[in-house]
Amino acid sequence: MSFASDLRISFRLLLKQPALTLIAVVALTLGIGLTTVMFSIIHGAFWRGLPFEESERIAAVGSIDTSNADNNVGDWRQYDVEQWARTQQSFDDFGAFYQGTVNVSDGNGNAERFDGVFATAGVLAVPGTPPSLGRLLQPTDEAPGAPTVVLLGHGVWKNRYQADPNIVGREIRVNGKLSTVIGVMPEGFQFPTAAALWVPLTLSTDPQARTTATTVTPVGRLAPNVTFAEATAEFEVLASRLATEFPETNGSTTAAVLPFIDRFLGPEVLTMLLTMLGAVFGVLLIACANVANLLIARTAVRTKEIAIRSALGASRGQVIRQLLSESAVLAFAGALGGLAVAWAGISIFNRAIVDTDPPFWIDIGLHPPVLLFVTALALVSTLAAGLLPALQASRADINVVLKDETRGASGLRVGRLSRTLVVVEIAVSCGLLVASGLAIKSITTLKNADRGFASASVFTARLGLFEADYPTPEARARFFADVQTRLDTIPGTEGATLATNLPATGANMPAIVIDGVTYASEKDHPRSQATDVSPGFFRTFDRQLLSGRDFRDTDSMDAPGVAIVNESFARKFFENADPVGRRIRLSQSEPDAWMTIVGLAPDIHLGRLENKDQAGFYQPLAQNPPRFASVAVRAIGAPMELAPAVRREI
C-alpha cells in the first residue's frame, strides 16, 4: 500500500471522529501560527538582510568606550572618520553620515520638514543602487565651497513635486539654502536610515573642532575576501592611534566593524525576539503533546484493529507509516490554519509598527523562507505528535491483543506514556507561565513607573532654524524669545516652554567640572545629562522647584551663567547638600565660564527611561541658543487642538 493510499484512509478515519480531529487541528493551528509570526518578524528584521546585492558585506564602524561596562556602540567624530577615509584598506566603498531634519521650501511659504541624511558620496556608493533620475552624490559635491545640491527620495519627488520628470536641475530651498536637485532615488530606497532625501556632508578636517562637530556613523562595503574580524583588527589599530593623539577624548575608545543591521538594531533586540520565538515554540510543543495524547487514546481503542492488520501481513513499518500519515494529515491541516493565523498576526504587527518609523529594510511577510519554515514545522509536528503513539501501537503483542476481549486492558498499556506527556506539558506550561508572568510584571512596572513629569496633556513639536536665516546666536535667541512670548498668549494653555530635548527622549552628556574639586586630568571629568530650557519648563510639565529659583528672561547671553540641577545631581556631586550657590562648568568651556546653580529641581527623566543614573542639569536656552529646539505646551483640553494655534504663532 502506498503513502497516498495511507493518506486517503487517514482522511476517512479522521472524518469519522470530527471532535478529536477539530481539537487536534485547532491546537496545532495556534502553535504553528504563533511560531510562524515570530519567525517572520525575526526573518524580516534580521535574517532577510538588506535589499541589496551582497548585502552581507555592508558594515558599519561603531565606537566602544572600554571604560563603560555596558560597551554600548556609538558614533565617531567627523575628524576621526575623515582621517580614516584616506588610509583604511578594509572597505571598497566607505563614507559617513548622520540623520537630521531637512526643511524644504520653494519660495512660496509652503515649507515642509523631512527626515534627511547628511552623507558623504561614499555612503550612497555602498548599496550600489543607481538613481531613477539624475545622478548620485559625488565627492566634488562635498568639497568646501561647492554648490549646494540635494538628492530626492521617491516619496518627496512623487508627493511634493507630483513626480515631475524634469525635476533634475530645479532649484529649491533646503535648510534655507538655494540647492539644485541632482537626482531622484528609486521607490523604497532609504539607505542608510529612513531617509526622505540626501544632502552632501563635508567632514570636518579641523582637529580643534573635533568635540563640537556633529558625530557621524561610518559605513562601507567590505572588500572581497576581507572578513569582519580582519576589518575590526584594522580599525582597532586606527582607533588606538587616535587614542594616543587625543587621550582626553579617545583614550578608552576602540572600534568594532559590525554587520549593518546589527549596528542599528543591536544584539539585544535579536536576543529578545529569539526568546519570544522560543516561548511560542514551547506553545507548539504543548500543542503537539496534546495531540499526541489524543492519538494515544485513539490508538488504544484501535489496538485490536492494528493487531488484525499485523496478523494479515502488515509489517511494523507499514503500521507506523499508516499511523504517522494520520498525524501528518492533522499537522498539515494545522499548518494551513497556522498560515491563516500567521497572515493575520503579521498584518496586525505591520500596522502596529507603521507609526514607529521602522528601519527601511524590515519586510515582514509570508516570504518563501517563512513558507519553508511552516513546512518544517508541519513535519516536526507530525513526528512530535504521531511518532510515540505509532511506535507504541506497533510494538503490541498480536497474540495477547487478539485474545484480549476488553478495551480497558489495551488502554492501560499506554497509561505510562500518556502520563509522561502530561508531565512534559505541565513542565513546559509552568516555564512559560513564569516567563510570561515576569514579562507582564516588567511591562506593568515600566508602564506605571514615575517618569517625574506630566505628559498626557502636553502638546509637542519640533522646529529648526538655519544659518541662512538665523546666522548668529543672537538672532536665534531673539527668535526663541519671541516664540516663548507668543506661546504664552495662546488661549487654553497652562504653560509653554522650549527645550533642546524633551524629557525621556535623550539628553546630551557633557563632561563637567565641579568648582572646588581637583581632577588628575581632563578624562577624569565626570559626565552628566544636560539640556537647555526656556523659563516655564517646570510649570509646563507640572513640577515645582524644591529650592532656589526658576530661569528668568534676564538670564540672557550677556548675563552670568546659571544652571538648575536635579536631586540626583545634588546627591551624586554634593552629597545631598543644598547645591544652590555652588558652581559648575562644562569641561570644554573657558576656565572662567562658571555657571552658578540657582535652583534644585525634582528628578525628571532627562535621558532615556532605561537610564539608571538620572543626574542632570539645565541651562537657560537663551544662554545657549540652539539651531533645533522642541516645543512643549500644556493644554487645558485636548493637546492636539492646540496644533493650529502653535503652527500659526511659530
CB 375 within 8 A of CB 35: no
pLDDT digits (tens, 9 = 90+) for 502-537: 888 878 888 899 998 888 877 788 989 999 999 989
Q: Which residue has the higher pLDDT, 488 or 383?
A: 488
Phi, psi of 533 (to 5 degrees): -135, 155
Range of lowest pLDDT (69-78, 358-367, 520-529, 580-589): 69-78
Mean pLDDT for the stretch of residues 379-397: 65
Query: What's residue 412's pLDDT?
Result: 40
Please report which confidence band the pLDDT of residue 91 belongs to, taking 50, 70 and 90 as the band edges. Answer: very high
Mean pLDDT for the stretch of residues 110-121: 89
- The half-sphere exposure of 234 on its side-chain side, counting CA atoms within 13 A, is 16
Percent residues over pLDDT 70 in the chain = 84
Query: What's residue 75's pLDDT?
Result: 87
pLDDT exceeds 50 at position 328: yes
Q: Coil, strand, or helix at residue 51? A: coil
Range of lowest pLDDT (5-9, 175-179, 442-446, 600-604): 5-9
Mean pLDDT for the stretch of residues 434-442: 74
Length of the chain: 650
Query: What's residue 408's pLDDT?
Result: 44
For residues 182 and 136, what is the distance between their CA atoms, to the nearest angstrom? 7
Mean pLDDT for the stretch of residues 50-70: 85
Query: What's residue 31's pLDDT?
Result: 86
Mean pLDDT for the stretch of residues 559-578: 91
Beta strand pairing status for 91-105 and 583-586? unpaired
Query: What's residue 399's pLDDT?
Result: 53
Query: What's residue 343's pLDDT?
Result: 94
For residues 319 and 333, what is the distance between their CA atoms, to the nearest angstrom? 22
For residues 647 and 640, what is the distance between their CA atoms, to the nearest angstrom? 11
**Nearest Cα to 642, choosing from 494, 475, 522?**
494
For residues 499 and 394, what is the distance between their CA atoms, to the nearest angstrom? 75
Phi, psi of 225 (to 5 degrees): 70, 10
Q: Which residue has the higher pLDDT, 303 or 217?
A: 217
For residues 180 and 172, what is the distance between their CA atoms, to the nearest angstrom? 6
Mean pLDDT for the stretch of residues 380-398: 64
Range of lowest pLDDT (299-308, 414-423, 583-592): 299-308
Helices (runs of H) and strands (runs of E) counted in the chain: 18, 21
Range of lowest pLDDT (208-217, 290-299, 388-397, 507-516): 388-397
pLDDT exceeds 70 at position 4: no
pLDDT digits (tens, 9 = 90+) for 255-271: 999 999 988 887 778 88
pLDDT exceeds 90 at position 561: yes
pLDDT exceeds 50 at position 447: yes
In three-state form (DSSP H/G/I as H, E/B as E, the rest C), the secondary structure along 145-212 is CCCCEEEECHHHHHHCCCCCCCCCCCEEEECCEEEEEEEECCCCCCCCCCCCEEEECCCCCCHHHCCC
Query: What's residue 277's pLDDT?
Result: 86
For residues 612 and 573, what is the distance between their CA atoms, to the nearest angstrom? 16
> What is the residue whose three cell numbers read 515582514?
364
Query: What's residue 13's pLDDT?
Result: 64
Mean pLDDT for the stretch of residues 184-210: 89
**Nearest Cα to 386, choosing from 338, 321, 450, 443?**
321
For residues 393 and 326, what is the distance between their CA atoms, to the nearest angstrom? 13
Cell for 276?
A: 519570544
- Cross-strand partners of 88: none
For residues 557 and 14, what is the distance between their CA atoms, to the nearest angstrom? 83
pLDDT digits (tens, 9 = 90+) for 212-236: 778 899 999 999 989 999 999 999 9
Mean pLDDT for the stretch of residues 341-354: 89
For residues 259 and 52, what is the distance between their CA atoms, to the nearest angstrom? 14
Cell for 1?
A: 500500500
CB 127 within 8 A of CB 58: yes
Neighbours of 19 (CB within 10 A): 8
For residues 340 and 334, what is the distance between their CA atoms, to the nearest angstrom? 10
Mean pLDDT for the stretch of residues 367-373: 90
Cell for 419?
A: 502520563
Mean pLDDT for the stretch of residues 118-132: 94
Query: What's residue 276's pLDDT?
Result: 84
Query: What's residue 142's pLDDT?
Result: 92
**Nearest Cα to 413, choosing from 431, 430, 401, 405?**
401
Query: What's residue 504's pLDDT?
Result: 83
Neighbours of 451 (CB within 10 A): 14
Query: What's residue 68's pLDDT?
Result: 65
CB 56 within 8 A of CB 221: no
Query: What's residue 284's pLDDT?
Result: 81
Percent residues over pLDDT 90 in the chain = 36
